[in-house]
Amino acid sequence: MTMTEAVLVTTHTIRPATAEDLDVLITMAEHFLADTVYHQRTAVTLDSLRTSTMLLIDRGVVLMAFDAEQRPIGILAGLAYDHYLANTRMASESVWWVEPCARGSGVAQDLLSAFEAWAVDHGAMTVEIGSWHPRLDRFYARLGYDPAERIFRKDVSHAQSSH
């Protein structure tokens, strides 16, 4: 499956986003930020959201899912790149969001399948997905993903130098 056209999947449709979808994408990104740990970990502004969303549309992919009435119900965005250490082409998910009303309907899995197809079309050998919750870890494992590493963070912007 290639991601050049909309694909009907059960009761929803998935298609790549365009610049015309920017306002809807920003709204969904705001839902994502408000409902996840990322609102505490980022300094996102409306301008930075617009810039990063357009970067993903232009240089990667933003997949959008719509319900039968064509209401937006999910997004998955990411990039394909040549990994500087692994010597392989990879695709990495940047944001993945399904509206609460559509969870459990298969939209998340269908978005991931569409992203995997896009990744293959762009030469990727591997897909990486971030996780921040054990429930997500179990979901990814059921879909055939293996844990690769954990990332730890520390805010050093307010740290005092001891030197």
Is the predicted pLDDT of residue 3 greater than 60, yes or no? no
Task: Please check the confidence at residue 148 and state whether its pLDDT lies above 80.
Answer: yes
Sequence-distant (≥ 6) Cβ neighbours of residue 125 within 8 angstroms: 88, 89, 90
What's the pLDDT at 62?
Answer: 96
Q: Which residue has the higher pLDDT, 16 or 157?
A: 16
97 vs 32, which has greater pLDDT? 97
Residue 24, pLDDT above cutoff 90: yes
Describe the crossing of helices 22-35 and 46-59 by its angle, rounded to 10 degrees.
120
Count CA within 13 A, CB hemisphere, residue 142.
9
pLDDT at 40: 56
Burial class (CB in 10 A: 0-12, 13-18, 19+), 142: exposed
Question: pTM of the full predicted structure?
Answer: 0.81
Mean pLDDT of 68-78: 94
> Which two tokens mark 38?
């990322």
Q: State the Cα–Cα distance between residues 19 and 55, nearest whole angstrom.
A: 10
Mean pLDDT within 112-133: 93
C-alpha to C-alpha distance for 128 and 130, rounded to whole angstroms: 7
Q: What is the mean pLDDT of the chain?
A: 85
pLDDT at 44 over 90: no
Tell me the average pLDDT across 115-144.
Answer: 91
Question: What is the C-alpha R_g of the chain?
Answer: 17
The rounded percent of the chain whose pLDDT value lies above 70 is 85
The yes-or-no verdict on residue 42 having pLDDT over 80 is: no
More confident: 37 or 124: 124
